[in-house]
Amino acid sequence: MANYSHAADNILQNLSPLTAFLKLTSLGFIIGVSVVGNLLISILLVKDKTLHRAPYYFLLDLCCSDILRSA
C-alpha cells in the first residue's frame, strides 16, 4: 500500500522550477485578486448608508467569509 506522504514528495520533486514558479505565481495572483476584490466590496457596503439593509448585510457576511477562506 502506498504512503500518501511519499507520493506527494515525489510529485513535488518531479516539477521543474519554472512550472513550480508559474503555479505559485498564478495561485498568489488569484488569492490577491480575491482578497482585494472582497475588501473593496466590504468597504463599499460599510461606507454607503443606502446599502445598510438586510440583503447587503448578507453580502457583507459572504465577503468576510470569502476573505478569510482566501487568506
User: Domain residues of the chain, as ranges?
Assistant: 22-70
DSSP 3-state of 24: helix
Contact (Cβ atoms closer than 8 angstroms) between residue 42 and residue 58:
no
Identify residue 70 by its one-letter amino acid code. Answer: S
pLDDT at 53: 93
Least confident window among 3-7, 52-56, 65-69: 3-7
DSSP 3-state of 65: helix
Contact (Cβ atoms closer than 8 angstroms) between residue 65 and residue 34:
no
pLDDT above 70 covers what percent of the chain?
Answer: 82
pLDDT in tens, 7-31: 555 665 677 888 889 999 999 999 9
Q: Report the C-alpha dihedral over residues 15, 20, 23, 27, rounded to 10 degrees.
A: 130
